[in-house]
Structure 1
Amino acid sequence: MIPIGDTDFGVYGRGNIISDKYKTGHFWSWNMAVGAGYYLNDSVIPLATVGKCFSNYSTCYFNTRHPTANDDDIDAIYYGLGAYIKDPFFNGMWEISGDWSPYKGYNGMSLYIGYGVKF
């Protein structure tokens, strides 16, 4: 989270690589999300995100779709919520967040748990 000037808001960005095996083969994808957070205090920063998946295959997450379907679920947009929570023992922050996509009723979901340190 990067603070925006002298405000209590910040800008958020995340990228993750996914390697998975689908019903019809192996694929790689890249999920990117951007968002904003609000600094409630030094210990808790809630955030909201919007994300998109890019893939070399016609799927990203929706393993419930039929393998011969023509749906390109890589067109899905993901909406997420989460928070950064300060670690009371070290100088870092835990990230706990999740995202969901209503795309064509597949209800793709992800959970993210991470730890970051300042350097």
Structure 2
Amino acid sequence: MTVTTPGGTGSLGFFYYMPLPALTGISPAAGPAAGSDQEIVITGRNLAGAIDVYFGPTRAVIQSVSDTQVAVRAAGAPGPGGVAVTVTGPGGMPSGSFTYLSGPDI
């Protein structure tokens, strides 16, 4: 990066553009509102470096991260319904959706 002022021109390091991440799928796309130990795989591109994943307001536990996948375990939800899934990383915050299902009535 070069900066020019009335006092002269100077260089300071480099600036890197990060490609925008994108989500292309979540599998499975639904699960029990009570939560489970089932792994949920979020697929996309430019996902390397993901540091947080949220299902609605609840933070999921990241199991593994690659450029094309983030594997997580989602916590339970207060009730059934759809929530936004947001992946936070250095290139941005792409989002998708997940549906919590009600459990069987006993």
Report which of the two has the higher share of strand: 1
| Structure with larger Rg | 2
TM-score norm. by structure 2 comes to 0.33
Report which of the two has the higher share of helix: 1
Which structure is higher in RCO with an 8 Å CA cutoff and minimum separation 6? 2
